[in-house]
């Protein structure tokens, strides 16, 4: 077993605080972009189509990037202070590369007006654009920088774990299947880190292929690639990135929730089987993004549905069961940290369920181009991942007693959660009423019901975004006050 | 030197030039490197610089204009030979002492670059190198896709075998 020195822990805390402050700064700004978009759809302000898509691009890329980055940074911190020696120099290198990538994207979108959406659906970044070509080039280079930064971080972390736990198969928990008794217990966070991050390596390298192809076309505009191939590559990269963000967060719920319930949460055969299923099927689940592409070979469409079910259901079911087993009759004191984790798990389950509904071919035929899609990913990102992140930030800033007594933080959390689910409900309602997604506004829709319902729901959504920002600010105050008071955070001790 | 002996034959078609001559020179460099630079210790910053040099060398000699000039200009052709030999020569010590993370990034980005270049050559209907034909261009593209995919598989093999080492 490895011994982590106090100096090393201090260094890791500084690194994770750097990430946390960056997240705390960037996250509300990106929410404001979302608010502006909904106000525009609600016909309360007029951004113009080009500005709307610029904001949508920055909101999408920014949220996916910052949520993944902080989820990864939190995993890095928990692993680096408990289970393996991680190089903080590499950690800062990743941080500054991510910062450089984000700066490039901000310049490309806000100054260059790059507005192709996070998915850059081919031939969109090149054909029919309203932005200059340098903005496309800068966006592609920024994404390459981000991809390389994340890859370096992932490989460093997984490699350090593999060295510590005696190889890759041990990280996946196969020793639990092979033997009755294991020599060394595998912490669940290590298993989930591996399951989350290793598919990321496979997907990020594949993502590099489409980014290099984009770069080639940027330099040689007469080039034209197969749109179906590019869509497959883009969603393999993008879907995997978003999926692993969620699983990174689940990793620390397995690690931290037992500290509040007082019950151990151990790896066993069932946990190993379910998370290994996720490890394998996560790579093929992205096919569900291509149901509308009639030229996609039919077996891939079926594979998409099957893989979506098999990658999500076993791990979700086993985690839900685990959370219930942790909490039932545990006499847990409902401070803001366990509350964030429980509510986040609920958001993950609800969002995951509506995602599985959407990945069902028969349902997707109706829901694919409607607001159901932003509904489901906002549920598990805003109502799941963000709550897990907030829980982690409270863990960094508050002691166990402080988080139990902090009424202001709890009020902020409840306000945030109620506002989030109300905001998301407007998306679900819109999806069920066939309000189209990715529309800058609904003014051009000739069906009056769709136009008026879309605009009304966007107006209601704007009110709830305002409320969730208030809840967030209250929690920010609590976190920042506590962080500024303590020199070295006690990390839940 | 193989390339000097068979230079004309190798420069005759694009697949020979891109898929035989370039890799052959690179492999010759690797063989020389593994023979003569076995014990050289290279630190991290130098190994990263070498990887960037190798990648840039490949990018440069895959540019249509460079291919054209290398096929028709003997002096430029010699520069290509030396460049690829040096790149191969430096690869061995750089790989041997590089961090695991850097190795995977290098191999992965190299695989991505070769695959993307192959797809570009395959789908492009305009002749890129006037020294060769469009059929040769497409054939080269197909082989580059195969090599790139193979390199991607090799990268994953190196990655998983690195993780499996106890």
Give the Cα separation of A450 and A430 in Å (integer).
9
DSSP A285: G
| Residue A291 near residue A362, CB atoms below 8 Å | no
Q: Which residue(s) pair with A182 in the sheet?
A: none
- pLDDT tens sequence across A4-49: 899 999 999 999 999 999 999 999 999 999 999 999 999 999 999 9
Share of chain A above pLDDT 70, in %: 99
Element containing residue A226 per DSSP (H, E): none
CB atoms within 10 A of CB B79: 14
Please, which pLDDT band fits residue B22 given cuts at 50, 70 and 90? confident
**Cross-chain CB nearest to B104 (options A155, A209, A212):** A155
pLDDT of B156 higher than 50: yes
Is residue B79 situated within a structural domain? Answer: yes
Average pLDDT over residues A295-311: 92
Backbone angles phi, psi at A128, to 5 degrees: 65, 35
Domain of residue A150, residue span: 6-485
| Residue A41 near residue A439, CB atoms below 8 Å | yes
| Residue A402 near residue A482, CB atoms below 8 Å | yes
pLDDT of B2 higher than 60: no
pLDDT value for B166: 61
Ranking A39-48, A142-151, A202-211 by mean pLDDT, the lowest is: A202-211
- Choose among A210, A93, A236, A77: nearest CA to A152: A93
pLDDT of A387 higher than 50: yes
Residues of A in contact with B155 (CB under 8 A): 205
Give the Cα separation of A228 and B14 in Å (integer).
28
Give the Cα separation of A342 and A324 in Å (integer).
9
| Residue A64 near residue A242, CB atoms below 8 Å | yes
pLDDT value for A493: 41
pLDDT of B71 higher than 90: no
Backbone angles phi, psi at A370, to 5 degrees: -110, 180
pLDDT value for A488: 52
| Residue B29 near residue B83, CB atoms below 8 Å | no
CA B37 to chain centre: 20
Is residue B166 situated within a structural domain? Answer: no
- pLDDT tens sequence across A436-482: 999 999 999 999 999 999 999 999 999 999 999 999 999 999 999 99
DSSP for A287-328?
GGGGTT-TTS-HHHHHHHHHHHHHHHHHHHHHHHHHHHHHHT
pLDDT value for A224: 87
Instruction: Report the CATH number at residue A422.
Output: 1.20.210.10
Tokens encoding A30: 């990106």
Q: Across the interface, do B120 and A229 touch by the CB < 8 Å criterion?
A: no
For the whole model, what pTM was predicted? 0.90
User: How many separate domains does chain A show?
Assistant: 1
- Choose among A8, A92, A22: nearest CA to A393: A22
pLDDT value for A464: 98
pLDDT of A352 higher than 60: yes
Is residue A258 situated within a structural domain? Answer: yes
Average pLDDT over residues A355-369: 93
pLDDT value for A491: 44
pLDDT value for A492: 46
DSSP for A337-357?
HHHHHHHHHHHHHHHHHHHHH
Give the Cα separation of B22 and A303 in Å (integer).
40
Is residue A493 situated within a structural domain? Answer: no
Is residue A229 situated within a structural domain? Answer: yes
Is residue A491 situated within a structural domain? Answer: no
Which of 122-151 (B) contact A at CB < 8 A?
A: 123-124, 126, 148
Is residue A259 situated within a structural domain? Answer: yes
Which of 113-172 (A) contact B at CB < 8 A?
A: 148, 151-152, 155-156, 158-159, 162, 166-169, 171
More confident residue, A401 or B40: A401
Give the Cα separation of A227 and A398 in Å (integer).
50
- pLDDT tens sequence across A67-126: 999 999 999 999 999 999 999 999 999 999 999 999 999 999 999 999 999 888 888 889
pLDDT value for B4: 65
- Choose among B55, B60, B162, B47: nearest CA to B111: B55
Give the Cα separation of A462 and A39 in Å (integer).
6
Is residue B94 situated within a structural domain? Answer: yes
Is residue A1 situated within a structural domain? Answer: no
Residues of B in contact with A202 (CB under 8 A): 156
User: How many separate domains does chain B show?
Assistant: 1
Is residue A207 situated within a structural domain? Answer: yes
Average pLDDT over residues A286-298: 93
pLDDT of B126 higher than 90: no
Q: Which residue(s) pair with A370 in the sheet?
A: A436
Ranking A61-65, A234-238, B56-60, B124-128 by mean pLDDT, the lowest is: B124-128
Mean per-residue pLDDT of chain A:
92
Give the Cα separation of A117 and A402 in Å (integer).
42
Backbone angles phi, psi at A220, to 5 degrees: -130, 85
pLDDT value for B69: 87
- pLDDT tens sequence across A398-440: 999 999 999 999 999 999 999 999 999 999 999 999 999 999 9
Domain of residue B136, residue span: 2-161
């Amino acid at each position: 077993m490895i011994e982590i020195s106090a100096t090393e822990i201090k260094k890791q805390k500084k690194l994770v605080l750097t990430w946390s402050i960056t997240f705390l700064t960037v996250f509300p700004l990106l929410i404001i972009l979302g608010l502006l978009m909904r106000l525009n759809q609600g016909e309360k302000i007029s951004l113009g189509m080009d500005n709307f898509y610029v904001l949508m691009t920055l909101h999408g890329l920014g949220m996916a990037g910052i949520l993944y980055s902080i989820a990864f940074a939190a995993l890095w911190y928990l692993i680096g202070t408990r289970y393996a020696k991680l190089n903080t120099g590499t950690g800062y290198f990743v941080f500054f590369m991510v910062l450089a990538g984000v700066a490039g994207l901000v310049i490309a979108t806000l100054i260059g007006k790059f507005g192709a959406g996070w998915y850059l659906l081919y031939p969109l970044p090149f054909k029919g654009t309203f932005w200059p070509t340098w903005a496309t080039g800068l966006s592609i280079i920024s994404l390459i920088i981000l991809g390389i930064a994340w890859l370096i971080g992932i490989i460093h972390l997984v490699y350090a774990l593999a060295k510590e736990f005696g190889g890759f198969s041990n990280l996946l928990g196969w020793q639990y299947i092979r033997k009755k008794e294991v020599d060394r217990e595998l912490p669940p966070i290590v298993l989930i880190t591996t399951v989350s991050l290793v598919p990321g390596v496979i997907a990020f390298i594949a993502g590099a292929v489409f980014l290099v192809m984009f770069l080639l076309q940027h330099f040689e505009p007469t080039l034209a690639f197969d749109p179906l191939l590019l869509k497959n590559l883009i969603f393999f990269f993008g879907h995997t990135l978003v999926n692993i963000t969620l699983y990174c967060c689940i990793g620390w719920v397995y690690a931290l929730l037992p500290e509040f319930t007082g019950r151990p949460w151990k790896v066993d055969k069932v946990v190993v089987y379910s998370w290994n299923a996720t490890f394998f099927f996560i790579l093929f689940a992205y096919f569900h993004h291509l149901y509308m592409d009639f030229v996609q070979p039919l077996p891939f469409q079926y594979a998409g549905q099957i893989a979506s079910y098999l990658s999500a259901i076993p791990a979700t079911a086993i985690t839900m069961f685990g959370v219930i087993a942790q909490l039932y009759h545990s006499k847990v004191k409902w401070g803001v940290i366990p509350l964030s984790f429980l509510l986040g798990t609920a958001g993950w389950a609800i969002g995951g369920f509506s995602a599985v509904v959407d990945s069902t071919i028969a349902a997707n035929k109706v829901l694919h181009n409607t607001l159901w899609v932003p509904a489901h990913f906002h549920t598990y990102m805003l109502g799941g991942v963000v709550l897990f992140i907030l829980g982690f930030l409270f863990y960094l800033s508050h002691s166990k007693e402080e988080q139990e007594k902090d009424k202001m933080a709890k009020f902020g959390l409840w306000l945030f959660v109620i506002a989030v689910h109300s905001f998301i409900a407007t998306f679900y309602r819109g999806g069920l009423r066939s309000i189209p997604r990715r529309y800058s506004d609904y003014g051009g829709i000739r069906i009056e019901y769709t136009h008026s319902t879309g605009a009304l729901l966007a107006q209601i959504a704007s009110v709830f975004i305002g409320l969730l920002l208030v809840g967030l600010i209250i929690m920010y105050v609590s976190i920042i006050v506590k962080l500024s008071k303590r020199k070295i955070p006690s990390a839940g001790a | 030197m193989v390339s000097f002996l068979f230079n004309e034959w190798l420069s005759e078609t694009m697949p020979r030039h891109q898929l035989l001559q370039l890799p052959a020179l690179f492999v010759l460099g690797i063989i020389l490197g593994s023979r003569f630079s076995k014990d050289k210790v290279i630190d991290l910053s130098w190994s990263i610089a070498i990887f960037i040099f190798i990648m840039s060398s490949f990018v440069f000699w895959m540019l249509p204009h460079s291919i054209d000039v290398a096929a028709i200009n003997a002096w430029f052709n010699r520069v290509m030979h030396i460049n690829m030999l040096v790149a191969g020569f430096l690869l061995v010590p750089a790989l041997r002492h590089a961090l695991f993370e850097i190795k995977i990034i290098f191999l992965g980005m190299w695989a991505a670059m070769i695959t993307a270049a192959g797809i570009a050559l395959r789908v492009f209907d305009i002749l890129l190198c006037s020294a060769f034909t469009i059929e040769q261009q497409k054939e080269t593209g197909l082989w580059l896709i195969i090599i790139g995919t193979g390199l991607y598989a090799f990268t994953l093999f190196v990655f998983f075998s690195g993780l499996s080492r106890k």
